[in-house]
Chain A
Amino acid sequence: MGQHLPHALAMDLRATSSRTALLLQAVALHWRDVPLLVVYGVAFALLHWTASPWGGAGFFSLWYPAAGLRFAVMWSRGPRLAPWLVLAELCADIAAGVFHLDAPDALQAVTGAMRPGLTYGLALAAVLRLSHGRDDILALPPMPLGLAAVAAPTLNALMVVPFEAFLPADAGRYRIGIDIVISLTGLAVGDLLGILVLAPLLLWLAALTDAPRRMRFAPPPLRPVLEDALVIGGCLLLTIALWRAELGAQPAPGLLAGAWIGLRHGRVAAWLAILAQILVFLPYSAGQLDDAARLELHLGIAAVVLVTWLAGSFSDAQRASRTLIDKRNRLLFQAERLKTLRAMSVAVIHEISQPLSTLAIEAAHLRTVTQGLSSDIADSAALVDRKARALSDLVRRLRRFGGRDVDEPSPLPVAMLVQTACQIVAAEARNSGSRLECAAVAADLAVQAQEIELTQALVNLLRNALVASPGETVSVRTRAIRDEVRIEVTNPFKTVPAGSGMGVGLAIARTIVEAHGGTLFREDEAPCVNFALTLPLLAGASA
C-alpha cells in the first residue's frame, strides 16, 4: 500500500499533466490569430467607450455592445481563443486608461476585467459540448447559438460573487449586499442586449467574408416584410400609447410582436425587429433617467429582445429539421425505387433462365446431330448453339451480380471498378457532348468491396460531373497513396443548371464510400471542381 500510493499518484499526475498538455495545445496562439486580436482590442475599447451613457450605480452599462463583439469572435473562432481575448481586453483597458496597474484596487480591476472573457469561454464550450451529437431541436442550428447567447451573460453575472468573494471587499465595482441583485441584473441585461443586437450582425459578416460565393443576397419577398413592419409598428405605437397613459414602459406588446415575427419569419426578421426596438428605446434611455427607471426599461427591452431572438432561432431550427426530414425522405424514396428495380431485374433474369434451359439443351443437340449434314445446316445449328450458350453464360454472370440476396464484399480490382463505371455513363457523356477521360489504373490495385454498390457510388460522381459541365471534359484519375487508393473525378466549373437533380446522388455515394471505410470529399482546384474518393487498399494485393 505504502509503495502503491506514490506510484498511483505519479500515474495520476502524469494523466493530469498530459490532459493539461492537450488543453494547452488546444488554446495555443496561432500567428494568424494575432491580427484578429489587435483589431479586437481596438474595437473592444471603442465599443466599451460607447456604452458609457447607459451606465448606473453598481453596473457599468445597461447596453454593452462590446459583449456582442466578444461573443461573436468567440463563437466564430471557437472558445479556445478565450484566454487571448481576455489578454487583448486587458491591454485595451490599460491603454485606454480604464484602470491603472499601480492603483490600489488594481487587483479587483484586473480580475473583474478577466471574468467576462473567461465565463463566456466556459459557457460557449459547455453549450457546444452539450449540443454536440444530440438530435433534438435544441441541438439543431441555430438553437445552440441562441442558448449560448443567453448562457454566457448569465454565467458572467453569476460568477461575479465568487470572483469578488476572495478579494478585499472595500472597493469592489459591484456593490456587495442589498443591491447585488440590481448590480447583477444590470450586468446581465447590458451584456444580453449587446450580444443579441451586435453578434448576429458580426457573425453574418464573418460568414460573408469566409464564403462569399455561397451567401447570395436575395431581395426578401414583399408580403412578409410588410406584415412584419405592420406588426412592429403597431407594437411600438401601442407601447408608446401605454407609456403616455402613465402605465410605464410595458414589454407585453413588444413580446407579442417579437414572438410573432420570430416564429413566422426566422432569425433575420427577428434581428431586424430587435434593431427597430433598440433604435427606438436606446436614445431615450441614454438621456436623463434615474437608475431604477433605466433598469426597468432595459429589463423590458431585454425580455423582448430575448424572446424575439429565441423565437427566430426556434423557427429556423424547425425549418432546418424539416429540410433534413425532407432530404431523408427523398433518400428513402430513392432507395426504395432502387430496391424495386433490383427485384425486377432479378425476376427477369430468373424468368429468362427457364426457357433458356430448354433452348440451350436443344441447340446443343441440334448442333451435334447436324454435324454430318450440309455445311449450311450445320453452320446454322452451330450458330444457334453458340448464341444460346452465350446467353446462358450471360444469365449466369448476371445472376452472380444482381441475383444474390446480399452483395458480399470481395476483392475488386480498382481498374475494373473505374472501367465499369465509365462504361455505364459513356452513353450519357456522348448525349451531352461531354468527353470522359479515364486515366490508366495500375493493375495491381484492389479493394475489398461490394462491387455493385461501389460502382454505383462512382457512377453517381461521374453523372454529377457530366451534368455540371456539359460539353466539357470530365477526367478520372486514380493513384495509390500509401495504403489508400484515391480516385479523383474532375470537371471544369460551371454553374449548375437549376433542377438538374436532387443532390441525392452525392449523399448516396458518400454513404456507400464511408460504408467501405473510405472518404469522399470535395477539393476544388480552380477552375475545376474536384471530388476525391479514397478507399483502403487491400493488403497484399500489390504483392
Chain B
Amino acid sequence: MTDPAPASTHGDALPVAVLDDDADLAATVARLLTRNGIAAQAFVAPQELLAALPACTFGCVVSDIQMGAIDGFAFADLLRASDPLVALVFMTAWPTTAHAVDAVRRHGGLDYLEKPIDEPRLIASVLEGLAWSIRERRIAAVTATFTRREREVFSLLVRAHSNKEIAERLAISARTVEDHRAAIVAKTRTNGLAQLVALSRGEEP
C-alpha cells in the first residue's frame, strides 16, 4: 500500500468524527485515519455525535448516508445548524447519481465516497476538509470582534478597494472609513494591508 501524504500535525489540528450505523466500519475508518496521523473518533448514531458537539469541535465529519432514523442528509443539516464550519465527507453503500449531486450541492459535502472505500481518496478528502475547516475558523475568529460596519469595510478593503471607493460604496465619508480601518488594524493586531489580505484568506498569521 502506498503511504498517504503525511498528515498535518501542527498545534491547531482538529479531530475527525466518523459516523456509521455499522459500528465495525465506523471503528475501522476511525482507526485508518488515526494510523494516518489524523485524530479520529467513531460514532454509531447521529444523536450521539450531535450530543458530543458542544464539548468538542470537529474539523471534519465522515458520515454514512443510509442510517436508521436520521439519514446522512438530515444529519448534515442538523450538524450545520450547530457548527457551520465543519467539513463533511459522505460515504454510501447505495450510490446514485441523484444522491451524489445532492450530497455536494445541497448539503455542502466535500466528497461522496462509494463503499468499498477507496482509502487514498478518503484520506485526501478528509485532509482537504480539515484544512478548509481550520481556515474558515481562523477567519471567523478574526472577524468575530468586528462591528457590522467594520466587517463591510474589511471585506472591501481586502478586495483591493481604495478608501475613497469604499467611502463611495458605503455612502460614508472617507474620514469614517479611515477610522474603521484603524479599528480593524488595532483589533487584528496586523501591520498593513498585506497582512489583512492574508488574514481574510485564513492563512496563518
CB distance from B19 to the nearest CB of A (A): 14
Among B24, B31, B116, the residue within 8 A (CB) of A360 is B116
Among A365, A367, A391, A395, the residue within 8 A (CB) of B35 is A365
* A-contacting residues, B3-58, CB 8 Å: 22, 24-25, 28-29, 31-32, 35
Among B31, B114, B117, the residue within 8 A (CB) of A399 is B114
Bound complex: CA A392 to CA B114 (Å): 11
Q: A23: CB under 8 A from chain B?
A: no
Q: Interface segment, B93-101, B146-154, B164-172, B187-195?
A: B93-101
Judging by beta carbons under 8 Å apart, are B95 and A399 in contact?
Answer: yes
**B116-129 to A contact mask, C-beta < 8 Å, 1/0:** 11010000000000
Judging by beta carbons under 8 Å apart, are B93 and A350 in contact?
Answer: yes
Judging by beta carbons under 8 Å apart, are A358 and B22 in contact?
Answer: yes
Q: Please, which residue of chain B has its CB at the minimum distance from the CB of A368?
A: B1
Residue count of chain B within 8 Å CB distance of chain A? 19
* B-contacting residues, A337-357, CB 8 Å: 350-351, 353-357
For B22, the chain A residues whose CB sits under 8 A away are 354-355, 358
**A380-417 to B contact mask, C-beta < 8 Å, 1/0:** 00000000000110011001000101000000000000
Bound complex: CA A355 to CA B29 (Å): 12
Judging by beta carbons under 8 Å apart, are B119 and A357 in contact?
Answer: no
For A391, the chain B residues whose CB sits under 8 A away are 116
Among B28, B35, B96, B114, the residue within 8 A (CB) of A396 is B114
CB distance from A334 to the nearest CB of B (A): 26
CB distance from B192 to the nearest CB of A (A): 49
For B24, the chain A residues whose CB sits under 8 A away are 355, 358
Among B28, B31, B116, B119, the residue within 8 A (CB) of A395 is B116
Judging by beta carbons under 8 Å apart, are A358 and B28 in contact?
Answer: yes
Judging by beta carbons under 8 Å apart, are A357 and B117 in contact?
Answer: yes
Judging by beta carbons under 8 Å apart, are A357 and B115 in contact?
Answer: yes
Judging by beta carbons under 8 Å apart, are B114 and A405 in contact?
Answer: no
Q: A252: CB under 8 A from chain B?
A: no
For A399, the chain B residues whose CB sits under 8 A away are 95, 114
For B115, the chain A residues whose CB sits under 8 A away are 353-354, 356-357
Q: Please, which residue of chain A has its CB at the minimum distance from the CB of B116?
A: A392
Residue count of chain A within 8 Å CB distance of chain B? 22
Judging by beta carbons under 8 Å apart, are A367 and B32 in contact?
Answer: no
The answer to whether A361 and B93 touch (CB under 8 A), given A354-B22, A367-B1, A368-B1, is no
Bound complex: CA A302 to CA B119 (Å): 87
Bound complex: CA A356 to CA B24 (Å): 11
Judging by beta carbons under 8 Å apart, are B1 and A361 in contact?
Answer: no
For A354, the chain B residues whose CB sits under 8 A away are 22, 25, 93, 115
Q: Please, which residue of chain A has its CB at the minimum distance from the CB of B98?
A: A405
Bound complex: CA A119 to CA B9 (Å): 98
Judging by beta carbons under 8 Å apart, are B32 and A365 in contact?
Answer: yes
Bound complex: CA A396 to CA B95 (Å): 11
Q: A249: CB under 8 A from chain B?
A: no
**B42-77 to A contact mask, C-beta < 8 Å, 1/0:** 000000000000000000000000000000000000
The answer to whether A353 and B29 touch (CB under 8 A), given A396-B114, A396-B116, A399-B114, is no
Bound complex: CA A95 to CA B15 (Å): 110
CB distance from B44 to the nearest CB of A (A): 14
Bound complex: CA A405 to CA B114 (Å): 16
Q: A362: CB under 8 A from chain B?
A: yes
For A368, the chain B residues whose CB sits under 8 A away are 1
Q: Can you report 22 A-B residue pairs in the complex whose CB atoms are below 8 A from each other?
A: A350-B93, A353-B93, A353-B114, A354-B93, A354-B115, A355-B22, A357-B25, A357-B93, A357-B115, A357-B117, A358-B28, A360-B116, A361-B29, A361-B119, A364-B119, A365-B31, A365-B35, A367-B1, A368-B1, A396-B114, A396-B116, A399-B95
- Knowing that A350-B94, A357-B28 are A-B contacts, what are 12 other residue pairs whose CB atoms are under 8 Å apart, sorted by A's residue number? A351-B93, A353-B115, A354-B25, A355-B24, A356-B115, A356-B116, A357-B116, A358-B24, A395-B116, A399-B95, A399-B114, A405-B97
Interface residues of B (CB under 8 A from A): 1, 22, 24-25, 28-29, 31-32, 35, 93-97, 114-117, 119
